[in-house]
Structure 1
């Protein structure tokens, strides 16, 4: 071998070792129905284990049978901790049995995206990534320098050695061929001048990038960072860096680490966050997110002991069941989206709306008196009446709206207390003939 940045021809034995050490990585998606004990897998997930589309069922009990016995309790405990709300997400590395009886290492992460009124989990969505290649590479790196270079140049990611001397600039003393994919740089260019990365790392993330390395060097704690890069060919991408530092004889710091492409993981995480806070049909905030925002406003009122007026409205589409019965549920869904669009058009930037379930919606109006809230409610009814909903057949479906209004108070014990008052007012509006506005103190 003539240098650390060149892959020399491998011997037959090395080629065999490399083939065993590195497996093609992939990511699959799963969707779990918690109460039903069912879990659906994407075709990519099944392919990771070597199964065809029809060869894996959806019983959650069967999924646990594929987990390595030594990892099973850890996996279950991690899931339960997320179900109980003790963690923001579920994330675990474990072994799983393939169709041929062998085991692969996988990295699974997910999040509960819906819960019932008591907080029990209903639905959980996540991803599973085959990390067998990376685990195998980690073991093989301990063997010989020659094998290290050959293996790391084949790994989908950048394996690196980074030195920060007591005096002078930091530098990459080793960079694998993955530099071409991770940074669109030749390994020798990255090793020649580490400052070349300053032009590629997103300007908003660059200070954190350098500060995290300085903090890691001072405390000798593992380095973990997710950051964005702006590349000529790939554009804006996410990268994840992990490394372990050690002190060198001259008082400097040496890192051995790995940088991977985290763009797809970040996209999935963003989708999971959105699905956890957004109603999928209307794209309005869901009940849980809406109530959390109301609670935040209520807490601020209580802290300031303020007389600021915040109105809370409960809205219900009258005779909504008749639309479903006459034109079908697809028309009912379209009617809900129609009303959601009207709601959005009437709100100010400081206001908030959420779908509470079924045909019920809630609105929070900040800096709004009862008189102004009633005016808003009448305008909403008028706009709904003036903007007819037309089904696919061309027929017009009449929509009307019952509304209950209350004002939030700093002494309210919770957001639920305010919501209950407006809900009672809404009930009176429905009971007294519908298409009405009722208020509660």
Structure 2
């Protein structure tokens, strides 16, 4: 029996259930809370050596316990305590399981003999229900993220740890086991040209100047290529001082969309046949280059090219060969020009080339080089005989702050027609 009136009164006041067993496992005491939690009377339990008839216990994995595995019997046989085991109690006539956190420990007398076993337990059914709900929601979130093909990241700002899901890794060609859970690894993956603005966007949110982080940038794939990532995130928790504690976000691979957008933009600014800039985009770039040349007081020249007797080529060999001539001309010119040079098709067989930081004399040398490129080119024809062609080129340069693209094109056009009138296949310079 439990000794001491004060001890009994104390046990009765505890908010946990207490059941005391004799060495033969018979119940010698239980407090009021135990009766309440188990739904039994003290008279039903006192003297019982097993669970009430029809009662059973199971583990969290739904495996039913044998009598030898009951807490009191395990302590009696092992003489060792049992700490915080979650067990489900099923009573006859009840479908619901009462989940309890059970602890048990032996009490020995002065001679080391087992005197009693004390069982304590409290109801954790609500906690188990909450865990089940959270587990279900976590599973729902996982399915949503998988369905949406999203990578998830959860940043503990204080510790620096970043938890990620498997899709975050596979999006970049890695297995989940290969990735590190640090902000440094993310930063290392971001393209060097994008890294500063990616961090700047995140810092704006951390410091409360922006509500959300939403940015598209490039991250390096395991194969060395770069993927375009749409990164969206918010601060989910701040401390009492307003400092950010936790930030969560998602990654979406938008590479295909970005490539499509780039292709559409490319098509909008280039000539479909030759691949050089179309007239509209050439004019826009040329205007910007002229303004830059004026701002920095630098040289700027322009060339006008025209395929000699192009109509005759079309009439004699057909438009397919005529198109091939234009493509061959542009391919050769591209190879001979610098990256800053602006090459555009103005219409038909007429092209213009803007040469930044190039004076009139140097522009004439470029023009002569392009003339020779065209003269050396040829296009195969169905008869097997190659079709050859030549170009005439007019050269002019900016001489005044009043010059605009129209002024330069008119000057180069006059030089071009002078070259045509002088016999074609030549370069004509117009000094202004």
**What is the Cα-based RMSD across aligned positions, in Å?**
3.6
Matches of 1:352 and 1:262 in 2, distance apart?
31
The aligned residue for residue 280 of structure 1 is 272
Work out whether residues 159 and 258 of structure 1, in 8 Å CA contact, stay in contact via their aligned partners in 2. Answer: yes
Report the CA distance between 1:378 and its aligned residue.
4.3
Q: Does residue 238 of the first structure (1) align with residue 228 of the second (2)?
A: yes
Work out whether residues 152 and 177 of structure 1, in 8 Å CA contact, stay in contact via their aligned partners in 2. Answer: no
The aligned residue for residue 64 of structure 1 is none
The aligned residue for residue 405 of structure 1 is 395
More displaced, 327-336 or 427-436?
Answer: 427-436
Taking the TM superposition and a 5 Å limit, the aligned residue runs for 1:18-167 are 144=137, 147-165=140-158
Question: Which whole-Å deviations, capped at 9, do the CAs of 1:75-107 have from their partners, x for residues lacking one?
Answer: xxxxxxxxxxxxxxxxxxxxxxxxxxxxxxxxx
Matches of 1:404 and 1:432 in 2, distance apart?
12
Q: Does residue 171 of the first structure (1) align with residue 162 of the second (2)?
A: yes
The aligned residue for residue 420 of structure 1 is 410
Question: Which whole-Å deviations, capped at 9, do the CAs of 1:252-297 have from their partners, x for residues lacking one?
Answer: 2443432111221222233233323333322223323333332233
Unaligned runs of at least 5 residues, structure 1: 3-140
SS state of the match for residue 274, structure 2?
coil
Relative to the length of structure 1, the TM-score reads 0.56
Work out whether residues 152 and 176 of structure 1, in 8 Å CA contact, stay in contact via their aligned partners in 2. Answer: no
The correspondence for 2:213, drawn from 223, 229, 235, is 223
Matches of 1:272 and 1:170 in 2, distance apart?
40
Taking the TM superposition and a 5 Å limit, the aligned residue runs for 1:356-375 are 356-375=346-365
Report the CA distance between 1:331 and its aligned residue.
0.5
Change in 2 beyond 3 A, CA 1:191/1:234:
closer
* Bigger radius of gyration among the two: 2
Report the CA distance between 1:382 and its aligned residue.
4.3
The aligned residue for residue 330 of structure 2 is 340
Work out whether residues 179 and 186 of structure 1, in 8 Å CA contact, stay in contact via their aligned partners in 2. Answer: no
The correspondence for 2:384, drawn from 386, 394, 416, is 394
Matches of 1:150 and 1:345 in 2, distance apart?
52
Change in 2 beyond 3 A, CA 1:217/1:407:
same
Relative to the length of structure 2, the TM-score reads 0.57
Unaligned runs of at least 5 residues, structure 2: 1-59, 62-133
The aligned residue for residue 303 of structure 1 is 295
Matches of 1:157 and 1:325 in 2, distance apart?
57
The correspondence for 1:320, drawn from 303, 306, 310, is 310
Work out whether residues 153 and 249 of structure 2, in 8 Å CA contact, stay in contact via their aligned partners in 1. Answer: yes
Report the CA distance between 1:317 and its aligned residue.
0.8
The correspondence for 2:171, drawn from 162, 182, 187, is 182
